[in-house]
Amino acid sequence: MTPKPGTVATLSSIDRFARVCGFSPDAARLVALTTFESRLRPISPESRKLLAHAADLATRSHGAARKPNAAYLPELHETCGLDVDAMYHLLKELEDGGFVEIEGKYPFQDVMLGSDAQTGWPLIADLARFCAAEKIPLRDLIVDLRFDLLR
Amino acid sequence: MIDYNERIPNNVDLAGDKTLQRALERWQPAFQNWWGDTGPMGTKDFQVYLRTAISVDREGWANFGYVRMPDYRWGIFLVPRDENRKIAFGDHQGEAAWQDVPGEYRSTLRRIIVTQGDTEPASVEQQKALGMTAPSLYDMRNLFQVNVEEGRHLWAMVYLLHRYFGRDGREEAEFLLERRSGNADNPRILGAFNEETRHWLAFFMFTFFTDRDGKFQLASLAESAFDPLSRTCRFMLTEEAHHMFVGESGIARTLQRTCEVMKEHGLTDPGDGRQFGVIDLATMQKFINFHYSVTLDLYGGDVSSNAATYYTTGVKGRYEETKQSDDHKLTSQEYPVYEVENGKIVEKKVPALNALNAKLRDDYIEEIQGGINRWNRIPEQMGIPFRFVLPHLGFHRQIGTLAGQFITPEGKVLTEAEWNQRHGEWLPSREDHKYVESLMGRVLEPGKFANWISPPARGINGQPIEFEYVRFN
């Protein structure tokens, strides 16, 4: 059964998220998070899956020097089973929505996780780190929109 | 998840069917012998940084680590069954998908599975010598990754033959290991799979153009009413995606290097660059013409009663069948195909049901054009006016309504004499092959690349480019 999407509504509802990621749960963060949530809802589930996967790759420990908050296209290709055309199609939707930025020129491109436009907060990366720390599948948040899990 | 404790890794509860398990365990040593005989040459002791499927979930299904290739865990992986899946097209539209093979479609399904299965070992055989001339460890690893997964795709088809086709299926599974690419007495079934892949440019072209045909065929079979075939193909598609990435990025890096050299030395003629040890743009265009045209032939005749029967009976659908907005029976629609009449190419409308091969091929062409457009960004970014162009549908065709005609890449119909005089302008000559082969030398130092190809921007699985992707023991 698909879980009913939960929402972020109050400051206290992001306490756990703030604690794990080391920021203070102020009004600006709450606004950023609720804005992010409302922007994410209309994005196709396929693109949300790709975003979750990219965020996971960009933030997991690889034990090697790495550009911060970047998923590399070859590793995306090799781990998610999307071919090149499908990948660019979904990335376009994510880029248009401001969730990622494609950096570099073809064929040497990286997928940078987007930040909150107002505050510069690397929100997607923090969500990924929160999920890793709390052992919550990132897909539950990004794909199934279970923002209630942040509480 | 996949059970790797079994002798044959699987997610189909092989242990619950002892007869099938024993039959496949008997086939397994024959497969390993085939791999030893005709797989990548001289690689028995190499440790290769490979991905292995650990789950059939599309996101996050791969695990990376060093594997000795003969120890690679080839297995049987199907996406989970959807209990409610219905047939989406043809005479059986709306009925429950078949969990077993209906007797009346048995030979048709077997033939389709054998033909698909035959291409998998064939490509491994075609590419067996390429490891000797890899332009880097990074590329060598990508080649071996493609090879082991083509081997796994053979397992996927052999599972279906053993599980659903009885003695006939077991015999066909044996024949799949007996035919050999390019063998005059016992060749592979499809012509394009009997040509040796002589160098890395051909390998990259093959993975871009011909593996993509594989994708479209698998996607059509993923629509099949025969549910186990559909589920097998769905997982194969996830692996195939990376093979096409290897091809697209390989050509892109080759093109990047050529454009860099052209810019550095102020070259403007697309035929120029060989003096600096790179593959000139004109030669790359010829290889595009060749690989594209021979791959179009793999779609079969434009007008095909077999394809119509496959569709009507539910055996094979169209690409993305469920996304099509028509009646999924195609009883009244038409589709354009092309013929030569009085020295001119003319369009003819035929029943869409009979033109399913042409429709699948046209879907393929649309996607290929997307890749060409991406490649063309590279000379554009570097201020070089050259652009790659796909040749006309009728160029260099051996199968279909335009087969045997003499048509230029621009679509002009020539006489045979004119063709014989000019085809070297459009197709790779012996000298072109020889030149490309002359560039091929094995580069074994981690992080180093042959002169004719640019390094990638990023390594595999987040590893640095200078990572030791292949270890030689």
Domains of chain B, each with CATH number or no CATH: 14-471 (1.10.620.20)
Whether ipTM tops 0.85, in short, is no
CATH number of the domain residue A39 falls in: 1.10.10.10
| A118 to chain B, closest Cα gap in Å | 31
Size of interface A-B (CB pairs under 8 A): 98
- Measure CB to CB from residue A106 to each of B241, B374, B460 and give the nearest one: B374
Residue in chain B closest to A82 (alpha carbons) equals B241
CB contact under 8 A, B458 and A66: no
Chain B residues with CB-CB distance to A108 below 8 A: 456-458
Q: Would an 8 Å CB–CB cutoff place A66 in contact with chain B?
A: yes
pLDDT of residue A61: 63
C-beta neighbour count of B426 within 10 angstroms? 18
Q: How many CA atoms lie within 13 A of A96 on its CB side?
A: 10
pLDDT by residue (tens digit) across B411-433? 999 999 999 999 999 999 999 99
Q: A73 to chain B: nearest residue by CA?
A: B458
**Which residues, at least 6 apart from B202, have a Cβ–Cβ distance to it below 8 Å?**
B287, B291, B436
Asked whether residue A23 is domain-assigned, the answer is yes
Report CB contact under 8 Å: A74, B458: yes
In sequence order, the β-bridge partners of residue A103 are: A110
Report d(CA B88, CA B212) in Å as an integer: 23
> Residue A78 is part of which domain span?
11-150
Nearest CA distance, A12 vs chain B (angstrom): 32
Tens digit of pLDDT for each residue in A12-31? Answer: 778 889 999 999 888 899 99
CB A100 within 8 A of CB A51: yes
pLDDT digits (tens, 9 = 90+) for A121-151: 999 999 999 999 999 999 999 999 998 888 8
Residue A128: the pLDDT is 95
Tell whether A136 is covered by a domain.
yes
Look at residue A3 in the predicted model and tell me its pLDDT. 41
Cβ-contact B358, B345 below 8 angstroms? no
At A80-124, the pLDDT tens digits run 888 888 999 999 999 999 999 999 989 889 999 999 998 999 999
Inter-chain residue contact A107 with B51, CB threshold 8 Å: no
Average pLDDT over residues B152-176: 97
- pLDDT for position A151: 80
Strand-pair category, B334-341 with A70-72: unpaired
Residues of A in contact with B237 (CB under 8 A): 81
Examine residue A54 and state whether it is found in any structural domain, yes or no: yes
Contact A64 B462 (CB under 8 A): yes
Overall domain count for chain A: 1
Overall average pLDDT of the B74-90 stretch: 94
Contact A79 B58 (CB under 8 A): no
Residue A100 covered by a domain? yes
Asked if the structure places residue A142 within a domain, the reply is yes
Q: Which residues from chain B sit within 8 angstroms of residue A88, using beta carbons?
A: 370, 374
Report yes or no: B425 and B252 within 8 Å, Cβ to Cβ.
Answer: no
Percentage of chain B lying above the pLDDT 70 cut: 98
> Considering the domain boundaries, does residue A112 fall inside one?
yes
Could you tell me which residues of chain B have a Cβ less than 8 Å from any Cβ in chain A?
A: 51, 58-62, 215, 237-242, 244-245, 248-249, 252-253, 256, 367, 370-371, 374, 377-378, 381, 456-464
Contacts of A33 (CB under 8 A, 6+ apart): A8, A14, A17, A123, A147, A150
Is the peptide bond prior to B351 cis by the omega test (within 30 degrees of 0)? no
pLDDT per residue as tens digits for the range B6-59: 788 888 999 999 999 999 999 999 999 999 999 999 999 999 999 887 766 655
Residue A2 scores a pLDDT above 50: no
pLDDT tens profile B330-339: 989 999 999 9
For strands B344-351 and A110-113, give the pairing.
unpaired
Asked if the Cβ–Cβ distance from B59 to A108 is below 8 Å, we say no
- Name the minimum distance, in Å, from the CA of B260 to any CA of chain A: 14
For residues A64-92, average pLDDT: 86
User: Does the beta-carbon distance from B242 to A78 stay under 8 Å?
Assistant: yes
